Amino acid sequence: MDNSSNSSENSGEYWLTISDLMSGLMVVFLFISMAFMRYKESENDKIKNIAITYEKNQTAIHKALHEEFKLDLKKWNASINGETLSFEFNSPEVLFKTGSSEINRHFQQILSDFIPRFLKTLEQFNPSIQEVRIEGHTSSEWQQEKNQNTAYFKNMQLSQERTLSILKYSYYIPQVSIKQKEWIKSNLVAVGFSSSKIIVDLNGIEDKKRSRRVTFRIITNADSEIRKILTGI
């Protein structure tokens, strides 16, 4: 057998080995791809289940609040937004005097009735609630101030002081239990939005009266649960 024949056979064996190796790698990559796809499907299923649970939970919270306060909404000029899980008080003349963070006596009476029942209604949902925000909203105007920037920051300070007043008043309501006070300290927060979320009419013109409002907004932990899945925590 000559050298050229041996070289040809060795070359054939070499390429056969490479071919087998590449085939093996392709199989490995195929298994990795399949495993990754199954992992992604599993993660997507988890997220989907959380979204479904969140929707059901949100509906249940909205229904529970409506059942508890349906007879009070009209007399308080309040409303419950099911999409944002917000309990809104919409009578600015009842809430505070213009430019003041001191709670009007009538609104104190409303809060004394509302807060204990509100906390009691939420107790069954506490494991899924991340926080409840007391949100203060103002119109874009500030007395006779013409400078919009100055008006914005004046209203920011006012809205923050008002929500803090509500939080403090709510905490010291006699009917609020010690257990509920602890929950308030861990979950109730006061947030002032100034005029950043004004309400406008169909023509895009600000409704200054409706913009002045106080909202108790319930934030569930659905987002944090999804974030845990995405980050692998």
Pairing state between β 78-81 and 86-89: antiparallel
Cα separations in angstroms, 45 against 33, 42, 50, 149, 177: 18, 5, 9, 47, 40
pTM: 0.75
Q: Domain range for residue 147?
A: 47-229
Verify that 61 and 104 share a domain, yes or no.
Answer: yes
As a dihedral over the C-alpha atoms of residue 16, residue 19, residue 25, residue 30, rounded to 10 degrees, the angle is -130
Summarised one tens digit per residue, pLDDT across range 188-225 is 999 999 999 999 999 999 999 999 999 999 998 865 55
Verify that 60 and 161 share a domain, yes or no.
Answer: yes
Name every residue whose Cβ is closer than 8 Å to that of residue 7 and which is 6 or more positions away in sequence. none
Verify that 91 and 202 share a domain, yes or no.
Answer: yes
Summarised one tens digit per residue, pLDDT across range 11-33 is 555 545 666 666 666 766 676 76
